[in-house]
Amino acid sequence: MRHRETGKPRTTGYEYVTQEFLLPAKKSLIYLSLLAAVLINLMPFDKVMLALRPDFLALMLLYWNIHQPQQMGLGVAFLCGLVMDVIDTSIMGQHAIAYCLITFFALVLHRRLRLFNAFRQIPAVLWVLLLGQAVLFLTGILAGTYIPEWYLLLASVTGALCWPLLVFLLGSFRKQRIEPDEI
Amino acid sequence: MQTSPQFFKTGPSPLARLFFFVLLSISIMVADSRSDFISEVRRIIGTVIFPLQKLAYLPFSLQERLDQYIADFKLVEEINHLRREYLNSRRDFFRLQALTSENEHLRALLGAARQTEMQTVLAEILYTPRDPFSRKITLDKGSSRGIRPGQVVIDDLGVIGQVTQVFPWTSEVTLITDKNYMVPVQIDRNSLKTVVSGAGKNSELELRFLSINTDIQEGDLLTTSGIGGVYPAGLPVGRVTHIEYDRSHKFARIICIPVAGVDRHRQVLILIDSASAPKTSDNPESYAPQRNRQTKNHGI
């Protein structure tokens, strides 16, 4: 995750080594984190918070598809989308499409994105999230249930800003598991 | 793909899979709007995530309980206040009783069917969807408590919406501010009957297709007319706040705000037997004297 400080070529190699040693995350951690994201999405919030709250499930799918693409895939994203459709009382399949697209871009870009640190990943994450939300808007408009308002896109912005925090948090979970091996 | 070693082999390419899942989603979306099968799937998923819903709501209910505990200290004050209030309302109650008996007598004279008494279930708002577009809320009572789709949901001030989807322990309510939702109403002042529909934004309602010369004023109260049999007559729905007469349009643009706290309250009432109530064909409202009727446009 953190490497390639352009000014310090000496640290680059070391950072790469630490990354190589990051063990693949356990299935339980992946599914627990997805469950936690669903829980956060389920929390009842008020108007401003509702508009600003990022879609944590989308963020979590992005994270795992960038860092553990072998263990994830479009199938999981599709199922998560269906669950989110039930939660949001939207048309079945609406979130599923958006999540599948997000996952697809994560899978396509994951080698490139892993070269950057979390802060430099923000723009890419922002674009992918905005794309997902645009797909949600489009399907909603086609189905006739939406009247889009632009301020809702702020949810993607806050989501992208939450990204480094998420990477740090999940990274620390995964690092604790390998610390004993290093000693 | 075939030349790559087994280690890198991961099945069909992401693009192919994306196509597959997007096609699957689109077919589900089409099926959702056409048939009932998908709503069965939705019910199953809804039942499975119900414990999660409860869990997510836990911090909020704990906070509420804490507030309640603090509020208990103020009970003595409140009891005194309520006692005064009780005496005041007692007077109104006697008047109401007299009026009720008189009304029943008159109804009997008219031969009108006695209106069935509504059974109600108190429900709590469990969850407002993330999606600010969808004017829907989830309540914590479901089909296990006799909730059926089509039942009317009210709070202490007026109509909130209608139950549209039922799970075993929860139910979804479409608010009257939903864009595709209509309520048969009448203007309280002159009993002009029309239909109010959700504006779909800003928690507003609008009266569509009322001609420019309709007798309507800002501040008019809209109550349910009882036509259609879904809503019992006389429940407050909204208040007219803004009327715009544009010469270039045939119809006036009339904006109302809902009377009920559509997204402010935690507790609501579900009218249990309103959906199954027989449609009273001889609704007294329909031949009530219509005062001040100056318009040729009768609405519905």
Residues whose CB is less than 8 angstroms from the CB of residue B139 and which lie 6 or more positions away in sequence, other chains included: B123, B124, B125, B126, B147, B153, B163, B170, B171, B172, B173, B268, B270
pLDDT for A77 equals: 92
Count of A–B CB contacts within 8 Å?
A: 133
| Angle at alpha carbon of residue A45, lines to B69 and A145, rounded to 5° | 140
Mean pLDDT (whole number) for A107-131: 88
- Kindly provide the ipTM of the predicted complex, given to two decimals: 0.75
Q: What does DSSP assign to residue B183?
A: E
Location of structure tokens 């939660």:
A87
If one compares A147 and A79, the residue with the highest pLDDT of the two is A79
Cβ separation B56–A97 shorter than 8 A: no
Location of structure tokens 């939903």:
B178
Please, how many CA atoms are within 13 Å of residue A96, restricted to the half-sphere of its CB? 25
Decide if B62 is inside a domain: no
Q: Which of B32, B49, B130 faces A93 most closely, judged by CB atoms?
A: B32
Cβ separation B18–A104 shorter than 8 A: yes
The pair of structure tokens assigned to A52 is 């600003």
Minimum Cα–Cα distance from B203: chain A residue = A47
The pair of structure tokens assigned to A44 is 């009842």
The maximal CA–CA distance of chain A, rounded, in angstroms, is 59
Mean pLDDT (whole number) for A110-131: 89
* B215 strand-pairing partners: none
pLDDT for A150 equals: 78
Whether A127 and chain B come into contact, CB under 8 Å, resolves to no
* B251 strand-pairing partners: B211
Cβ separation B131–A93 shorter than 8 A: no
Selection from B100, B227, B237 nearest residue B161 by Cα: B237
The A residues from 153 to 182 touching B (CB cutoff 8 Å) are none
Q: Percentage of chain A with pLDDT > 90? A: 28
Q: Which of A89, A93, A107 faces B26 most closely, judged by CB atoms?
A: A93
Q: Which residues of B touch A149 (CB under 8 A)?
A: 132, 201
Residues B19 and B142 in one domain: no
Q: Is the dihedral of CA A56, A62, A67, A73 positive or negative?
A: positive
Decide if B90 is inside a domain: no
Whether B44 and chain A come into contact, CB under 8 Å, resolves to no
CA distance A105 to A1: 18
Burial track A32-64 (b if 16+ CB lie within 10 A, e otherwise): ebbeebbbbbbbbeeeeebbebbbbbbbbbbbb
Whether B203 and chain A come into contact, CB under 8 Å, resolves to no
CB atoms within 10 A of CB A81: 28
Residues B136 and B236 in one domain: yes
pLDDT for A59 equals: 92
User: pLDDT tens across A16-67, in order?
Assistant: 444 545 567 778 888 899 999 998 888 877 667 777 888 899 999 999 998 8
Minimum Cα–Cα distance from A52: chain B residue = B130
Domain that holds residue B187: 120-277
What CATH number is attached to the domain comprising B259? 2.40.10.340
Cβ separation B18–A101 shorter than 8 A: yes
pLDDT for A6 equals: 44
Q: What are phi and psi of B146, to 5 degrees?
A: 85, 15
Cβ separation B131–A88 shorter than 8 A: yes
pLDDT for B176 equals: 87
Q: Which of B56, B165, B263 faces A39 most closely, judged by CB atoms?
A: B56
* B127 strand-pairing partners: B138
Q: Is the dihedral of CA A61, A64, A65, A69 positive or negative?
A: negative
Instruction: Enumerate residue ranges in chain B where pLDDT < 70.
Output: 1-11, 108-118, 129-134, 202, 261-265, 273-300
pTM greater than the 0.90 cutoff: no
pLDDT for B285 equals: 40
pLDDT for B293 equals: 38
Mean pLDDT (whole number) for A2-18: 44
Residues B134 and B238 in one domain: yes
Cα→Cα distances A101→A33, B20, B102, B121, Å: 20, 12, 66, 43
pLDDT for B129 equals: 67
Q: Which of B25, B29, B31 faces A100 most closely, judged by CB atoms?
A: B25
Minimum Cα–Cα distance from A105: chain B residue = B14
Minimum Cα–Cα distance from B61: chain A residue = A44
Q: Determine contact, residues A126/A153, Cβ cutoff 8 Å.
A: no
pLDDT for A23 equals: 64
pLDDT for A141 equals: 84
Whether B127 and chain A come into contact, CB under 8 Å, resolves to yes
Cα→Cα distances A107→A73, A76, A103, A146, A164, Å: 8, 13, 6, 29, 19
Residues B135 and B34 in one domain: no
pLDDT for B291 equals: 37
The B residues from 8 to 37 touching A (CB cutoff 8 Å) are 10, 14-15, 17-18, 20-22, 24-29, 31-33
pLDDT for A45 equals: 74
Location of structure tokens 């806050």:
A158
pLDDT for A104 equals: 92
Domain ranges of chain A: 24-182
pLDDT for B297 equals: 42
Residues B138 and B244 in one domain: yes
CA distance B280 to B225: 12
Whether A102 and chain B come into contact, CB under 8 Å, resolves to no
Cβ separation B133–A93 shorter than 8 A: no
Mean pLDDT (whole number) for A64-76: 86
User: pLDDT tens across A84-109, in order?
Assistant: 988 888 888 889 999 999 999 998 88
Q: In this model, does residue A131 exceed pLDDT 60? A: yes
Q: Determine contact, residues B227/B248, Cβ cutoff 8 Å.
A: no
Residues B32 and B133 in one domain: no
Mean pLDDT (whole number) for A132-147: 83
Residues B130 and B272 in one domain: yes
Q: Which residues of A touch B21 (CB under 8 A)?
A: 74-75, 77-78, 96-97, 100
Q: How many domains does chain B have?
A: 2
